Structure 1
Amino acid sequence: MNPPAVLQTPGFAHYSLAWSPFYNTRLALASSANFGLVGNGRLHIVSLVPGPAGPTLKLDKHFESQDGLYDVAWSEAHENHLVTASGDGSIRMWDIMLDNLAIAAWQEHTKEVFSVDWSNIQKDIFVSSSNSLSLTSPTKWKPDRPRSIVTLQAHHACVYQALFSPHQPDLVATCSTDGTLKIFDLRSPAYASGPGTNTFTNPLSAAVLTVPASPSEILTLDWNKYRPFILATGSVDRMVKVWDCRMVKTSGDPQIGAACETSLPGHEYAVRKLQWSPHTPDILATASYDMTCRIWSTTPMGPQPALRYIHDAHTEFVVGCAWSLYDEGLLASCSWDSRLNIFRP
């Protein structure tokens, strides 16, 4: 394997990265000063530049924020727009062709916003998750829409990630401190109705499936891009698990379960991020606090192990990984060591 292309951003620890759905060489990188504990944040726009000695990374521009940035998602409708999740509870929308000013901002969350995800089917909405004990699904992006369009009481604990299904536009999956994976159908009633109720103070739980997926906190999840209702989770107990939510099983517990299709032990510390390959249905990338990014096959053939590759070039927690949407086998990872690595195992 060739050495990775590397971009260093001194003073800013990385939290998340995302490839542009419009340009195969453009990435966005969300980062925070002082490891996100205190101080400002920075959104970096990065280009992958081909060269005779291999590709290199170029910082095109950056945007400053007043608090740390924990996640970033590109718009599926506009090539220059993206949204960021911030430690101060705000969600901001940026236009990368403009100067360092957000073009829109929302402040419904009362604590840290940990994730944002733009729907690739309904391209005018995105979903966010927060530490404020609620999952918020804002918004159809119109200048006159100052509030979210749906708020769900998802978990009774911090919601680390919320993702739209790539197969059905109204399904959202969430994971939480409470160790559960939940699926919500946004077509279900989301609010109580009747005398003395309103849409902001009386949310209902609309989960159509609750999976007790881990005895510890679940930090990350992802939908398989080829197999509907197949999801992967990564948790504090170092486990990566693949769930088949079609194989519903019930017990005396009021929660509903799903079949664990595959367990992938191997990480030495908590699994912070994972993502299915957009090109191959059984390839999964994971990032961990053990300072590695790993690639797994969820359907190993014969004696071939499930673990296919370990990328150990980082020197701090690896908190983000993302497959290129257009270049099969190209993977990016980001870390608290302020390094963005792009490599091809």
Structure 2
Amino acid sequence: MSKRTATELQATSSSEAKKPFGAPSKKVEDDGMGEFEDAWEDEIESDEEVAEGQKDDEMEVDEEVLPPIEETEEQPAAPNVFIPGVHELGKDEVLEADESVYIMRHSMNVNWPCLSFDVLRDSLGDERQRFPATSYIVTGTQADAAKNNEITVYKMSSLHKTQRNEDDSDDENEDDEDALDEDPIVEFRSIPHLGGVNRVRAQPMPRSVPLPPVSQPYYVASWSETGKVHIWDVRPLMEALDVPGYTIPQSRTHTPAFTVNSHGRAEGFAMDWASSGDANPSALRLLTGDVHAKIYLTTTTPSGFNALSTPFTSHTSSVEDLQWSPSEATIFASCSADQSVQIWDVRTKGRRSVAGIDSAHESDVNVISWNRSTSYLLLSGGDEGGIKVWDLRNVKKRGTEAPNPTPVAAFNWHRGPITSIEWHPTEDSIFAASGADDQVTLWDLAVEQDDEESGAMDATEGGKDVPPQLLFVHQGQKDIKEVHWHPQIPGAVISTALDGFNVFKTISV
């Protein structure tokens, strides 16, 4: 079975051909007696002596003479890189990852597809660079029957660095104790969930705030296909994974802490948490949007959750995604199958959007992401496969005649609907995206075209332009649904698809 490499896409300039190392010229000196003496006479034989020695040797040994090394401008053959949209796998071909471009790469299979997940903040510290790594995630299943579904917390530990190929010449990775040929350890704890889980989102935990004590809940919301949004406390599940012999209190986990019934029987996918900047559960707010174009707000008070009964209504079709502003406590954004992106203020009477981008995409707007560092930048991904970056300072207010803004950047690399998009948690120019074309792509808006390398990047052999901002293409999964950066392990990415999870970190980010 032949194999093709799925690897990093980046410009590489041709290195100069190596030239043979020249021998030093002979040096002669005047010894003061009127005669010249070779300074190397004792070390190097004369031409005549060499010639005579060669004749004697030829009489005794028939020695093969190698041809001289000649200069060449030919470059080594390029690797057989598979480029999506340009190449197609043959009947007997499979993709094989190029391990030299990964710092870490692991995969995990699951019993039932998990089409949504979120990364759980842990107490192991921020900015973790050492290996092996450990990660906690929460997810929900799409089982064969409604009663067989679960909310599951996974602990993935012993995530070692990737072993290099034998022919890898990277000396830095030789004898690397962190790159062990060992499988990760996967442990999990589950609770029952009625109905397939459309989306899961965990309570936000600010980076500057320590993880709350065990006695304080860690809330996760799940959008069920039954039309209900359940809020669960998953802290006992995390404790059961860390503390031997810990008994999970069913009264705290098997029954939701709260259920949002505002949507009736309408199914939904859009959901996002907001907080006041600390880990106090009484400061949480949860937005949920359904297929009937309605958005509801659920707030928390010291006495518990409170689902508001009046919806936000400006969309004319299914609400696909929601994002709270990272800098304005009362502002949020939404996107819809009506092709628009709307901006809202929860204080506005009438529950109508205050600004928006009509026809933001040519088709449904599936996902959005609000930049946490540069709060006027918003990403959107469409059903047509396009990715756009918007400057919200240019978005028109409702009631004005201003034209639609133009995106500050637009990319059409993906050949299928964009299923997930997310800014890097700390780098304001980097984002990740996933698509129904089985790709996870990493981008950096700060990268500019290098004129000297433009020939290498302008087009592939199939004529498809490779944007210089495209850092990396990760492949190998089928029907990818979501991708998230790990907020505590810089550069680590987790993705989920029909066949399970991938956890990886590349040399590009």
> What's the TM-score, normalizing by structure 1?
0.86
8 Å CA contact 2:300, 2:306 repeated in 1: no
8 Å CA contact 2:221, 2:230 repeated in 1: yes
Larger helix share, 1 or 2: 2
Amino acid in structure 2 at the alignment position of 1:220 = V
* CA–CA separation in structure 1 for the residues paired with 2:224 and 2:291: 11
Provide the residue aligned with 2:154 in structure 1: 46
8 Å CA contact 1:138, 1:150 repeated in 2: no
How do 1:185-196 residues align onto structure 2 when only pairs under 5 Å count? 185-189=345-349, 191=350
TM-fit CA distance, 1:103: 2.2
- Select between 97-106 and 83-92 the one with higher mean Cα deviation: 97-106
Find the structure with the greater CA-based Rg. 2
Provide the residue aligned with 2:222 in structure 1: 84
8 Å CA contact 1:2, 1:343 repeated in 2: yes
Question: In the comparison of the two structures, how many residue pairs are matched?
Answer: 327
Partner of residue 193 from structure 2, selected from 60, 65, 69: 65
Provide the residue aligned with 1:162 in structure 2: 322
Q: Tell me the alpha carbon deviations over residues 230-274 of structure 1, each in whole angstroms, 9 at most, x when there is no partner.
A: 100011111000001112469998586333010111111100110
Q: Tell me the alpha carbon deviations over residues 43-65 of structure 1, each in whole angstroms, 9 at most, x when there is no partner.
A: 22112313553782523212221
- Select between 274-283 and 134-143 the one with higher mean Cα deviation: 134-143
8 Å CA contact 1:138, 1:149 repeated in 2: no
TM-fit CA distance, 1:227: 1.0
* CA–CA separation in structure 1 for the residues paired with 2:146 and 2:408: 40
TM-fit CA distance, 1:169: 1.1
Provide the residue aligned with 2:137 in structure 1: 27
Summarize the Cα distance change of 1:70–1:226 in structure 2 as closer, same or farther, 3 Å threshold: same
8 Å CA contact 2:358, 2:404 repeated in 1: yes
8 Å CA contact 2:342, 2:353 repeated in 1: no
Provide the residue aligned with 2:475 in structure 1: 312
* CA–CA separation in structure 1 for the residues paired with 2:259 and 2:352: 26
Structure 2 residue 272 is the aligned partner of structure 1 residue 117: yes
* CA–CA separation in structure 1 for the residues paired with 2:491 and 2:314: 34
Provide the residue aligned with 2:109 in structure 1: 8
* CA–CA separation in structure 2 for the residues paired with 1:153 and 1:255: 22
> What CA RMSD, in Å, does the superposition of the two structures yield over aligned residues?
2.6
SS of aligned partner of 1:67 = coil
* CA–CA separation in structure 2 for the residues paired with 1:188 and 1:55: 53
Partner of residue 356 from structure 2, selected from 179, 191, 209: 209
Provide the residue aligned with 2:258 in structure 1: 104
> What's the TM-score, normalizing by structure 2?
0.60
Structure 2 residue 503 is the aligned partner of structure 1 residue 342: yes
Larger strand share, 1 or 2: 1
Provide the residue aligned with 1:197 in structure 2: none
* CA–CA separation in structure 2 for the residues paired with 1:56 and 1:170: 42
Partner of residue 184 from structure 1, selected from 340, 344, 347: 344
**Structure 1 gap ranges (5+):** 192-203
TM-fit CA distance, 1:205: 1.8
Summarize the Cα distance change of 1:158–1:124 in structure 2 as closer, same or farther, 3 Å threshold: same
Summarize the Cα distance change of 1:330–1:144 in structure 2 as closer, same or farther, 3 Å threshold: closer
SS of aligned partner of 1:62 = strand
Summarize the Cα distance change of 1:250–1:3 in structure 2 as closer, same or farther, 3 Å threshold: closer
8 Å CA contact 2:325, 2:333 repeated in 1: yes
* CA–CA separation in structure 1 for the residues paired with 2:480 and 2:337: 20
Provide the residue aligned with 1:271 in structure 2: 418
* CA–CA separation in structure 2 for the residues paired with 1:137 and 1:255: 30
Provide the residue aligned with 2:405 in structure 1: 258
How do 1:111-150 residues align onto structure 2 when only pairs under 5 Å count? 111-121=266-276, 123-140=283-300, 145-148=305-308
Percent of matched pairs sharing the same residue: 17
Summarize the Cα distance change of 1:220–1:23 in structure 2 as closer, same or farther, 3 Å threshold: farther
**Structure 2 gap ranges (5+):** 1-101, 125-134, 161-177, 206-215, 237-248, 278-282, 451-456, 458-467
- Select between 176-185 and 59-68 the one with higher mean Cα deviation: 59-68
Summarize the Cα distance change of 1:19–1:178 in structure 2 as closer, same or farther, 3 Å threshold: same
Q: Tell me the alpha carbon deviations over residues 302-340 of structure 1, each in whole angstroms, 9 at most, x when there is no partner.
A: 3371111111021x2101000011111000000122x11
TM-fit CA distance, 1:38: 6.8
Provide the residue aligned with 2:435 in structure 1: 288
